[in-house]
Amino acid sequence: MPALTTSAIVCAVRAHGEHGAIARLLTPDHGLLPGYVRGGRSRAMRPVLLPGNVVKAEFRARTEEQLAGLTVELAHSRAPLLAEPLPAAAIDWSCALTAAALPEATPYPALHQALDGVLGAVEAAPAARGWAVALVRYELLLLAELGFGLDLTRCAATGAADDLAFVSPRSAAAISRAGAEGYENRLLPLPPFLLEGGSGDWNGIMDGLRLTGFFLERSVLTDRRADVLAARERLVDRLKRAVA
């Protein structure tokens, strides 16, 4: 990638040197890309390099192996949402998850579109219930894109395709009520909205977050990513308090 100009979503930023920053951006066609922003910690650049913001990005590198130099221009700011605890937690988690989970320079156009949709829903919805379902679906899609998808097509125990109500934590496959009889407490609840579409109630949303959270922690966010899981815990805690 000697040179690339593209729209991108800011997913993560960390300080580098005295004044610079390394930003990781999700692009539509080239996946997650890192770049060094000269002066990235300056007063002018800090409001631009915020997770969730959309930027016009220009990457330049002499070789494929070299960390690209990166210049960014703000295209759409979501900074006002970061002053609100619940939307801020949703943006922080969804962007941190993306930055931690995806390999670099691997195209994931469906994830770019879905993340942009989640962030847009957080921005547009008057209440968390309006975007929480989209967030659960994004997590489910990310698992699938990384090869850890759940099989929600039919019951792993009986073969039935109806009355699916649980997911096996061992096989990541759906289980019907009949197939789960006597083992319900060993299984993860499967919220109806993941099968039927549409919106979910708060119980279903929290079940959905438990479901995706279990598989994200087991298969994706291992070892060095404990800080990323902390961002998810903050989000779930704030959602619980919001509906209490």
What pLDDT score was predicted for residue 227? Answer: 80
What pLDDT score was predicted for residue 1? Answer: 60
pLDDT band at residue 243 under the 50/70/90 scheme: confident
What pLDDT score was predicted for residue 133? Answer: 96
Q: What is the DSSP code string of 64-126? A: SSSPPEEEEEEEE--GGGGGSHHHHHHHHHHHHHHHHHSPBT---HHHHHHHHHHHHHHHH-S
Contact between 150 and 215 under an 8 Å Cβ cutoff? The reply is yes
What pLDDT score was predicted for residue 144? Answer: 98
For the chain, the average pLDDT equals 94
Mean pLDDT confidence for 152-163: 96
175: Cα within 13 Å, side-chain hemisphere: 21
- Going by C-alpha positions, the residue among 84, 81, 86 that lies closest to residue 52 is 81
Does the pLDDT of residue 102 top 90, yes or no?
A: yes
Contact between 176 and 164 under an 8 Å Cβ cutoff? The reply is yes
pLDDT in tens, 59-96: 998 877 789 999 999 999 999 999 999 999 999 999 99
- Enumerate the domain spans of the chain: 3-77, 82-152+190-243
Does the pLDDT of residue 224 top 70, yes or no?
A: no
- Going by C-alpha positions, the residue among 60, 52, 155 that lies closest to residue 96 is 52
Give buried/exposed letters for 129-150 (b at 16+ CB in 10 A, else e): bebbbbbbbbbbbbbebbeeeb
pLDDT in tens, 10-24: 999 999 988 999 999
Q: Is 189 or 61 the better-scoring residue by pLDDT?
A: 189
What pLDDT score was predicted for residue 176? Answer: 98
3-77 CATH choice from 1.20.1260.10, 2.40.50.140, 3.40.50.1360, 1.10.10.60: 2.40.50.140
- The whole-angstrom separation of Cα 203 and Cα 178 is 22
- The whole-angstrom separation of Cα 82 and Cα 62 is 36
Mean pLDDT confidence for 103-109: 97
What pLDDT score was predicted for residue 54? Answer: 98
For residue 147, give every residue at least 6 positions away whose Cβ sits within 8 Å of its Cβ, in sequence order, or none.
Answer: none
Contact between 194 and 202 under an 8 Å Cβ cutoff? The reply is no
Contact between 53 and 78 under an 8 Å Cβ cutoff? The reply is yes
Does the pLDDT of residue 226 top 80, yes or no?
A: no
What pLDDT score was predicted for residue 29? Answer: 97
Q: How far is CA 195 from the centre of its chain?
A: 20
pTM of the full structure:
0.95
